[in-house]
Each structure stands twice: as C-alpha cells, then as structure tokens.
Structure 1
Amino acid sequence: MATHASAANTGIPVGISACLTGEEVRYNGGHKRSRYCLNVLADCLRFETFCPELEAGLGVPREPIRLVGRPGETPRARGTKTTDRDVTERIERVGESFVEAHRHLRGFILMKGSPSCGLERVKVYHENGMPSHVDSGVFVRVLRHHFPELPLEEEARLNDPALRENFMTRVYALDDWKRNVEEAPSHHALLQFHSRQKLLLMAHRVEAYRELGRYLAEAHRRPLDETLAYYLPTFMEALSKPASRKTHANALLHVLGCLKRSLDGETRRDLLQSVEEYRLEQVPLAVPMRLLNHHLKRHGSDYICGQSYLDPHPYELGLRNAV
C-alpha cells in the first residue's frame, strides 16, 4: 500500500493564515485560532504562517479594509473609513513575493471572509458603502494566478467532511508530485506518478483520467517541460472538486475487478454489497475501503496495491469515516 511515512516524519509544508494559528495579527489585534488545524492537522502538516495585510505594512491594530468595486470588475482593497486609501497593489506585491519564496508548499488554509485571504464569497461593496456582490480576497487572487496548482481551502470549510477529505487528498497528491516528479523530472517519473494516481483521477473526474492517459501516450514526442506544465494543472484541477458516491463506487468496483479471480463467490458478493451500501449512503467510504484493503494485502498486484486512491492521506486522520 502507499505510505506517508517519509512525509509524516518531517510534516508536509502547508501555508496558513497567521491568525488561524493564534497569532494576534487581525485588524483589531485579535486572532482566530483553529483548534482543528493546530490539534489535528498539525500532526501531519508543518504550518508556515503568513498574514498578507501585516506583511504589506498595514500594522496591528489597523483600520479595517474591504473590497470595493462593480460586478464584472476586479475589486480593490480600500479602507473602511479612509475610503480613498487603496492598498490593493501593496497586498498584491507581498503576495507575489510570497509565491516566489514558497513554491515548496503543498497547500494553503485561509481565513474565511477576509478581504485579503477569503477564498470565495467575500463581500464586495459599492462606492457608497452598500453591499454589491461577492468575490475572492486580493491575496487569494494572486495565489490562483501565480500558483494555480496549489490546493486552497478556508478553515471554516474544513468542517465539511467532503471538503476536508478533498483538501487533504490534494495536499498529499501534490506532495507526491513534488517529491517524486519535481525533484528529478523525467518522462519515467511522470509516467510512474500517473500510474499510481489513476484510480484517484477516475474517482474524481473520469474525463481527466482518459484525457491525461491519451496525452501521456504521446508524451515522449514532446519536450519534458511542456508535458509537465500541461499535466500538473490538469491533474490538480481534476481533483479540485470532491468525488461523489457514484464516482467513488465506480473506482471501488474497478479495484474489485482486479481481485475477482482471487476471490470466491461469497467474498465477491460481500464486497459488492459493501460498495452498494456505500453508494446508497448507508455506510461511509471507510467501510468498503477497509474490506478491499484486507483482501488486497493477500491478493493484490503491485500495480493495484500502489494506487494512491487506497491510501491518499494518513489513516489516523479518519477522513473517510465521514464521507
């Protein structure tokens, strides 16, 4: 089975809004300490804190900022009282410097609703101070533009089991890429990566699974840099939406298909029933996965046992117990 031992020993580097770790960097000198991040995720992640507003020199305490603009336009970050004070470029510059110095990160956990760090649904106001629409924070826009493959999630959204599991799946998939492809790029390393990520791709977006398979069949004819630059964003985008019970069930049946010649009829029926119970929302994903892994240890091929889908993140986190 896939293992996370090497990554867990040092902690996978993930960025986090500094206020979520208890640093008193908010506009009012307060913080938004996240118990889940610090008491659970910190066991496997190595957090690197960052506050774009503080780094932009806005100080603590400081006048709050908010997004201002019209629908269809890129909103500006301006003072709530000193309304002609525009700090958009300052936050953008520290964001660009952050990306340049933090390409090693595997993800970033953000503060909800922040005009700099909010992932989505951040309020945007009219010039007259009335609410207009919603958008992303300034720092987030920089991350998406200059580091599009980086998994992003808001701390508050980690309360949703599917979003939580999806974020950690993407973090560990990017970690695999950085350790096993990016450190020593080659066509062989890329093909090996794709081979062990096939079922994960299938579970998230079968179209991307087919598209990338076709693309890599011709990869040897293209420059390596071009192939890597196409593959990674396509792969990470495919993982960006949580898999459904239907697509998980499809991947589970594929695993079972690799075992069917080694199992007796009763065992196969039990496994099929477990997958169907999962599809019908009667049990969590962990139940059929546990049964399949039990039989894979005895009968699985190296190929199927090496699939990241079977063990995409540390088992101790229990992320598949609630999806």
Structure 2
Amino acid sequence: MQPTIKIGVSSCLLGEKVRFDGGHKHDRYITGTLGKFFTYVPVCPETECGLGIPREAMRLVGLADNPRLVTNKTGIDHTERMQTWVEKRLDALDRENLYGFIFKKDSPSSGLHRVRVYSDKGPPARTGRGIFAAAFTRRFPRIPVEEEGRLHDPGLRENFIERIFALRRWREALDEKRSLGGLVAFHTREKLLLMAHSQKHYRQMGRLVATGKTMAAARLYDDYETSLMEALHLKATVSKHTNVLMHILGYFKKQLSGDEKQEVLSVIDNYRSGHLPLIVPVTLLNHFVRKYRQPYLSDQTYLQPHPLELALRNHV
C-alpha cells in the first residue's frame, strides 16, 4: 500500500541495543506483522541526547505533571539535557509526517501511561508520563500514540491501527481535493465508522461540514481533523458495532430473501453475544454489498478500515 506510512517507535522495540543495560526489547509483532505496512522512524531519547550505553538507570522524581529525570544511584539530574534535545527532535519529527508513534512502556523518557514517579512520600506513584512521550503528545495531539504492551490487547490494538489508517485517508483526501465537496465526500465515506465510535461526534462533524461555507478553509479542516481523531479515539463497543451492523442491514430491505435476512440477524446476534468476532458479520455483509451492488455501502470505510492481513477484527 502506497505511500509509505511512517510510524515513530522507541528504538529498543526494533531490536536496537540502546537500553541502559546495553540490551533491547525487540517486539516481533511490531517488526514482523506491522512492519509489512509501516516504515519506522526509531527514537531513543537517552542515547540521542548524549547518554552512553550502558548507562546508569534513571527515574522520574517529583511532581507527576512536571517531573525531573534523575539517575537512580548518583542522583544526577538530566532533565535540562533531555528537554533541550526533545525540542530539537520534535522539530525533526514534525518534518517526518508521522501517522503514529509506539512508545516503550514504563520508560522515564518514553512511557506513555502509568510511569512510576518517585518522591519522599512513600512508594512511587504510577501517575507519570515519560518526558519525551509527554512532549510528543503535547506537540502532536492528533497523531495516534500507544505503548507496545497495550498492543497485546485486541481492542486497543485495533483502535490504534484503525486511527492510523483513518489519519492516512484524511491526509490523502486533503492532498487530493481540498474543497468543501471533498470534505463532504470524505465525511460520507466515514459515516458508519464514526457512528461505531461516537454518534455524538458524527452529528457534530455533520453540522461542521454543513456550515463549512461560512468558515475559513484552514479553520474548517483543522476543526474537522480534531473531531475526527477525538471520535475515533473513543472505544467502539460491541453495542455500537451491533447498531452499525443493523443499520447496514437496513439498506437491504428490498433485496435480501427471508433466509438471507435471518442468516445476517443470527450472525449479528451471535456477535453481540460474544460467540463470534466482528469479522464474521462484517464479512457476510460485505458479501451482500458485492452481490447486490450496493454503491453507498461499497464506499463505506467501516467495512474495511484497515488491511485484512492484519486480522484485527478477528479478535474483537
């Protein structure tokens, strides 16, 4: 699939021996399965800011929202060194046109969630975020981010990768036709996918598109992108998916035979009950889209929001 989708990633997850002990944390799902679709931009804050390999382990100290980066034993404070490097590295990453970033969990520089923050008041609190990860998410709030550990959760994995491909479609749509008509077409194609995440956002975005003529183009696209990524970040639950599947079924009122309709209803109910993964009803509905040549549904990204080879909907 072209063009290449660039994803930032903590270098150690690619097998690079850059950790404090000279080791790595090679993640074969990232380099193997995802590596077929993504081109990686590796980042190791500690080595890139000038710290050696091996090096003394570090930790976050102080306040969770503004911690210091301090070595464990000698107490050397590397906060300013790291922050100076971060600003320059973020400028460079801005030019990479990234579609996502996979961070190393628990890292004092790259951990995204629940990083330990130490203080003189009892045990460490899992309330922090690595210094680089925090700066990245502030600078690029719309770029999908995740930790490698959380990618083992099927729902979180599917959501993260779905957002990456949605951002890709959005950027391609802007490159192809930056017009109100192009925005309407994009919003129409994404309707069912948005409904699976947030009907509230879908309606808000519809109103935004409808009033697009009254807005400056830059503001319109900026607001729409913000809402798009906020909506898709929300969890697509079984209940939401079931509603969308039933909505799709409604397009075949005059075409499906009684047996075909009953087959679809049975499969959707088995999905709702947890007996079948999402891929089963989606595959069946895709079959009827092709069979009955339903042009509106054939354009809906919900029915294939990411490559089938990733098998993301086989487990949700």
Displacement after TM superposition at 1:184 (Å): 5.2
Name the structure 2 match of 1:174: 167
State TM-score, norm by structure 2.
0.94
Name the structure 2 match of 1:88: 79
Identify if the C-alpha distance between structure 1 residues 183 and 17 changes in structure 2 by more than 3 Å, giving closer, same or farther. Answer: farther
- Is 1:207 aligned to 2:179, yes or no? no
Identify if the C-alpha distance between structure 1 residues 129 and 53 changes in structure 2 by more than 3 Å, giving closer, same or farther. Answer: farther
Which letter does structure 1 place at the counterpart of 2:62? G
Displacement after TM superposition at 1:205 (Å): 1.1
Displacement after TM superposition at 1:10 (Å): 4.8
Name the structure 2 match of 1:3: none
Instruction: Work out which of the residue numbers 138, 148, 158 in structure 2 matches 1:155.
Output: 148
Displacement after TM superposition at 1:257 (Å): 1.2
Displacement after TM superposition at 1:272 (Å): 1.4
Displacement after TM superposition at 1:58 (Å): 1.7
Distance 2:181 2:272 in 1: 36
Distance 2:119 2:40 in 1: 36
Query: Which runs of 5 or more structure 2 residues have no equivalent in the other structure?
Result: none
Kept in 2: contact 1:21–1:38 (CA 8 A): yes
Name the structure 2 match of 1:258: 251
Name the structure 2 match of 1:56: 49
Distance 2:16 2:151 in 1: 20
State TM-score, norm by structure 1.
0.92
Alignment of 1:275-314 (within 5 A): 275-314=268-307
Kept in 2: contact 1:120–1:134 (CA 8 A): yes
Q: Number of residue pairs matched?
A: 314
- Is 1:230 aligned to 2:223, yes or no? yes
Name the structure 2 match of 1:138: 131
Displacement after TM superposition at 1:81 (Å): 2.1
Identify if the C-alpha distance between structure 1 residues 262 and 135 changes in structure 2 by more than 3 Å, giving closer, same or farther. Answer: same
Instruction: Work out which of the residue numbers 81, 91, 96 in structure 2 matches 1:100.
Output: 91
Displacement after TM superposition at 1:60 (Å): 1.5
Where relative contact order (Cα < 8 A, 6+ residues apart) is larger, the structure is 1
Instruction: Work out which of the residue numbers 4, 18, 29 in structure 2 matches 1:25.
Output: 18
List per-residue Cα deviations over 1:1-43 (Å, max 9, x = no partner): xxxxxxx245311111000001111111110000111111111
Displacement after TM superposition at 1:185 (Å): 2.9
List per-residue Cα deviations over 1:228-264 (Å, max 9, x = no partner): 1111122111111331100011111111112222212
Which letter does structure 1 place at the counterpart of 2:225? L
Name the structure 2 match of 1:42: 35
Distance 1:184 1:137 in 2: 38
Which letter does structure 2 place at the counterpart of 1:92? Q
Query: Which runs of 5 or more structure 1 residues have no equivalent in the other structure?
Result: 1-7
Displacement after TM superposition at 1:93 (Å): 3.6
Name the structure 1 match of 2:67: 75
